[in-house]
């Protein structure tokens, strides 16, 4: 069977996102900005513009695909940034931990907030950032860690939301991706 694609335009960048099966009867359009600096830069420019009216002090994301985005956006906004890790390393010290379930892996994964980064969140307004927000599980883990560290979530931003639009009300996003089921081409 030939691979199907879904078109996505961010600023002046157009990509055809490949559709991949993530569960029986369910496919998603996969956005992967790793190794795509032109798309990353376009998304960071557009998000920085949309975030001008949002008061926040620090950006937080989970590794790995949104790492280039958080760096580009932190530079544009002049803010600190924190990357939550998926595996604990001894140098992370007294790290905080949360459990999530990613739509792309379909299994539980851990998020860790490094001891050195806890102070960056304490008493500060946090912008949660992701490349794609789908089920919200990773977002919930990020929120939990930010709050455990004493931060207050000020806003949520992403390149794309995915799936149920109502679930993502209030998210600052540049585009929306549908889910693709065997029963219909898009939901």
Strand (E) or helix (H) holding 101:
strand 96-101
Q: What is the mean pLDDT of the chain?
A: 93
pLDDT in tens, 67-125: 999 999 999 999 999 999 999 999 999 999 999 876 666 678 899 999 999 999 999 99
What confidence tens digit (pLDDT) does each residue in 34-58 have? 999 999 999 999 999 999 999 999 9
User: What residue ranges do the domains of the chain occupy?
Assistant: 36-176
Predicted TM-score of the model (pTM): 0.93
Integer Cα distance of 101 and 108 in angstroms? 4
Distance CA 154, CA 142 (A): 13
Name the class of domain 36-176: alpha beta
Cβ atoms of residues 30 and 5 within 8 Å:
no
Residue 185: pLDDT band with limits 50, 70, 90:
low
* Nearest Cα to Cα of residue 19 among 183, 129, 184, 178: 178
């Amino acid at each position: 069977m030939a691979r199907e694609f879904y078109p996505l335009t961010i600023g002046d960048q157009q990509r055809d996102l490949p559709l991949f099966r993530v569960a029986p009867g369910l496919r998603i359009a996969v956005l992967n900005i790793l190794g795509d600096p032109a798309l990353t830069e376009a998304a960071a420019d557009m998000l920085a513009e949309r975030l001008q009216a949002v008061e926040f002090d620090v950006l937080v994301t989970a590794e790995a695909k949104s790492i280039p985005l958080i760096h580009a956006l932190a530079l544009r906004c002049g803010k600190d940034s924190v990357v939550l890790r998926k595996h604990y390393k001894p140098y992370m010290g007294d790290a905080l931990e949360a459990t999530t379930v990613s739509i792309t892996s379909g299994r539980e994964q851990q998020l860790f907030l490094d001891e050195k980064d806890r102070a960056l969140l304490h008493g500060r307004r946090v912008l949660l950032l992701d490349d794609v927000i789908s089920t919200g599980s990773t977002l919930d883990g990020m929120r939990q860690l930010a709050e455990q560290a004493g931060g207050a979530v000020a806003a949520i931003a992403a390149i794309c939301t995915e799936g149920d639009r109502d679930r993502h009300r209030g998210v600052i996003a540049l585009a929306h991706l549908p889910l693709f089921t065997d029963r219909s081409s898009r939901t």
